[in-house]
Every structure is written in structure tokens, then in C-alpha cells.
Structure 1
Amino acid sequence: MADRRAASMTASGIAHSRWVLRGMRGVVSAPAAILLLSMAGFGVLCREAGLSLGQAMFATAAIWALPSQVVLVGAIASGAALPTAALSVALSAIRFVPMLASWVPMVRGARTKRWQLLALSHFVAVTSWVVSALHLPKLPGEARLPYFAGFALTLTSAGTLVTGLSFALAGALPPILAGTLFFLTPIYFLTALTASARLQAERLALGAGLLLGPLFRLSGLPLDLVWAGLVGGSLAYIGHRILARRA
């Protein structure tokens, strides 16, 4: 009896390892490549903002959401206090709540433990969520958690390394190449937000941010990024309510 149980556990472990490896191979994909290139731009952004190499890599690994990482760097560059910067990052991460709500049923198996979901939920971002929605429903229930773990952990590790490499090499790169990498971050930010803006309120908020962001930056006010988001989001909400009443 004990031998059968041991054999069953061994077979289960081997199967899980195979799914982890398949998830790791899933990093070789177009969405992951685009994200890693954008992480290279984030490394250059951190260097330009005055962060250290360790701080840049820690921001990638600890936050793992490029828009939120940009919010953090913007808050630091504008002279915001640490609690204010932390609050800005936390508020920018609220958008992940519906992603997590739909991710849990996709990845949960019959034997999935709560602590496993809590640990892996940190890695749920736009790219990993899209990959989950595309691939996890096609996999057996017991394969979904190890597949996601292999994909997410590998992608996060690669993103952290790319951030560090681009930070270290930014000073040695030709100015045109360094500038190109630097520009990748806002381009990724803008295209990701545009692609995910499904509701009218989201599109209004995006448009308001595009208009108010440069204005608050030129105004010289402290916390210009925070003010642009607060005022732009409030105007978008009011505009959405007015349009909804007229419809």
C-alpha cells in the first residue's frame, strides 16, 4: 500500500514537472518578447530617474506590472514621499481585481491549495493573464497550476534580468539606441491601455490623461502624475455619468 502511494506521488511529481517545463517554454512567444523589450525600456527609465540598479530590479520583481512600475518611478522622480508613491502604486493595481477574479477559476484544480493561489496571484499581470485565458482552459485541471507557475516565474525572472541588463548597459549604448529603449516604456504603456480600454469611461479617462499629463508636467506642480490621474479620472467619471444619463 505504501509502495503504491509512493509510486503515485512520484508519478504526480513527474507530471507536474513536465507541465512546469511546458509553461517555461511558453515564455518563447510574441507577447512575452514585447513585454521583455518594454522591461528593457524600464531599466533605462530607472537609470534616467536616478534609481540604483538594485532598486530598478527590485521594482520589477516586487511590483511586476509595468504601468505600476512607471507610476512608482514617476512619483519618485517628482519628489513624492514614500507613502504617497506606495499609495499611487496600490491604486494603479486596482485594475487587477477583475483579472484575479477570472484567473482563480481558470487555474484552480481539485487539489489546489489556497496558499498556492495567494503566492501565484502576485504574478498575474496583463501578459500572464492573457496567456492564462488562451491556454489554461485547454489543459487538464491538475496541469493548470504548474503550467502557470512555470510560465509566470520564468517570465518574471527574465523581466527582472532584462531590467538589470538594460540599466547596466544604458550608459554604454549609443544615444539613439538608449533613447529607443527609453521610449519603449511609454509606447507599451499607451498601447496596452488603449487595447484594454473597452468601456466608454476607460476611453474618456485615457483621453483626459493624455491631455492633462503634459499640462501638469509643464505646470511645475509637485506630484504632477498623481494630479493628472486624479483630475483626469474625476473628469472622465463625470463625463461618463453625463453621457449615460443622455443615452
Structure 2
Amino acid sequence: MTLPASPSEPAMPSAPEAGARLWALRGARAAVSIPGLILVAAFIGYAGLARESGLTLAETLMMSALVWALPSIVVLTGAMAGGVGLVPAAIAVALASVRLMPMTMALVPILRVEGRTKRWHLLFAAHFVAITAWVFAMRTLPDLPRPARLPFFLGFACTLTGSVTIITGLSYLLVDDMPPMVAGALFLLTPVYFLCSLWTAARLSVDKVAMLVGLGLGPVFALVAPGADLLLTGLVGGCLAYGGTRLARHLGWGRDT
């Protein structure tokens, strides 16, 4: 992940001096990073799942480019493979993607320049909101001049999406030569990276407490209510984390909760 320039590196030019194109190129260069490589590896694993589920190459490429968020793609792939109807599949994908709404609401004010940013630019940028792009943006964009943030983010997101789509297509064609164990291991890199990234990006104690509570409750709800384990883990774990940190703050045990 790209970090602010060190004192030994030349300072970035201002947005008016560099121009939107240069900032977009800087964002594209930032996409070549550890998070980007991990995401690419995860989509290599997804290509194996898509082929085993009976999806065509065109369907796999369209979902990689248009749906983009990997959990939602997996849910949609499972629904299609299981013969689920259009309405239940749409509901399942909507529930898997509802977490992206507050993420988008948090990102848009960082991207917007009052009186200058067009609405359709923000709507286009919102398409790329997923864990990888969002964590990168929330950690990197506040350090950039405000006019540079939107082109930088779009350069990063478009490059990452295009690279992932191309690699997914190539992997789909070559997946027969990949051992199932390897494909599964690559696919599981994504949740591991998500957890590490969210922990690193968390600035409040309540965020880290919520993740710890969720890790504890996830296996429990997977056994008790396997059909609603993720929903219950998020709902119950989030409420417990919020209530616990509020109580700790009231008792004077923490200042940042």
C-alpha cells in the first residue's frame, strides 16, 4: 500500500501543477502494491470457482468487472449455480453488498470538491467502492490535495479493476492446470487480507473490539444459525462492541472509544 513520501523523496507537486492526468497516473502506479497483488490472487481462486460452477468466460468477466466486490460475486455465483431465481439472488447480493453503502457515504465527502466535482463523477467512483479500494482511499487520500483525490482514486481503482478482470479471464482459461488446493488457498487470501487491512486502518477502539467480538461469535452462529451466521455476527457483534465501548468510556477506561 502506498505511504506518504519520506523526507528523502521529492514532495508531490500540487494538484494544479500536476494536473488531473498526472494524479490519475500516480493512482494507477499505486495499484501495483501488496493489496493489489493479494486481490489478484484471490480472483485467480475465484476463476476456479466460477468454472466449476458452470459459468462461461463472458459471465465470469462481466461479474469481475461490473459486480467487483468479491463477496457479492461469490454470492451471485452460488445463486446461479444453485438455480436460485432472479429475485432471491438479487436479495442475497443486496444483503451481501449493503455494507458498501456506509463505506461510500464515508468516502464521497473525501473525494468531493465543493462546487467543482460533478455528481456523475462521484457516482462512477462509487462503483469501485470495495474493501481494498476503500481501505486504500481512507488511508491515502486525506494526505493529498483535495482536487487530486478523485483522479488519484479513479486511477487506482480503474487500474486495479482492469488488472483483476484480465487476470481472472486468463486464470479461467488455465484453471484446469491449477490444483484445487492452490485455488482454494488463493481464494482464502482475501478474507485474511481484509481482516489485516481493517485492523490496521481502525483508529477507534470500538472498531477493533467489534472485529474481535465478530471473530468470536462467527463460529458460534455458524453452528447455531448457519443460514444467517454473517448477519447475526455483524448485528450482535456490532451492538456488543458499541455497548461495551460506550460503557468503558462512561467508566473512564478509554478516551478514543
TM-score of the aligned structures, taking structure 2 as reference length: 0.74
Question: Which of 103, 106, 114 matches 2:110?
Answer: 106
Question: Which of 27, 43, 46 matches 1:39?
Answer: 43
- Greater percentage in helix: 1
Counterparts in 2 of 1:241 and 1:113: CA distance versus 1, 3 Å: closer
Q: How does 1:191-230 map to 2 (within 5 A)?
A: 192=194, 196=198, 198=207, 209-210=218-219, 228-230=226-228
Could you tell me how far apart the structure 2 residues matched to 1:23 and 1:192 are?
21
- Which residue number in structure 2 is paired with residue 61 of structure 1? 65
CA contact 1:19–1:143 (8 Å) conserved in 2: yes
CA contact 1:39–1:159 (8 Å) conserved in 2: yes
CA contact 1:204–1:236 (8 Å) conserved in 2: no
Counterparts in 2 of 1:208 and 1:117: CA distance versus 1, 3 Å: same
Deviation at 1:60, TM superposition (A): 1.1
Could you tell me how far apart the structure 2 residues matched to 1:79 and 1:203 are?
36
CA contact 1:32–1:155 (8 Å) conserved in 2: yes
* Larger displacement relative to structure 2 (96-105 or 201-210): 201-210
Deviation at 1:23, TM superposition (A): 0.6
The CA deviation string for residues 154-181 of structure 1, in whole angstroms up to 9 with x for no partner, is 101111111111111101x142xx5312
- For the pair 1:116 / 2:121, whether they are aligned, the reply is yes
- Which residue number in structure 1 is paired with residue 186 of structure 2? 184
Calculate percent identity across the aligned residue pairs: 40
Aligned-partner residue type, residue 88 of structure 1: A
Deviation at 1:137, TM superposition (A): 1.1
- For the pair 1:52 / 2:56, whether they are aligned, the reply is yes
- Which residue number in structure 1 is paired with residue 151 of structure 2? 146
CA contact 1:23–1:151 (8 Å) conserved in 2: yes
Deviation at 1:194, TM superposition (A): 7.5
The CA deviation string for residues 143-163 of structure 1, in whole angstroms up to 9 with x for no partner, is 111111111011011111111
Gaps of at least 5 residues in structure 1 are 1-10, 217-226
Aligned-partner residue type, residue 77 of structure 2: V
Equivalent residue pairs, number: 222
Aligned-partner residue type, residue 27 of structure 2: G
Could you tell me how far apart the structure 2 residues matched to 1:242 and 1:119 are?
35
Gaps of at least 5 residues in structure 2 are 1-14, 200-206, 248-257
TM-score of the aligned structures, taking structure 1 as reference length: 0.76
Could you tell me how far apart the structure 2 residues matched to 1:241 and 1:146 are?
37
CA contact 2:214–2:237 (8 Å) conserved in 1: no
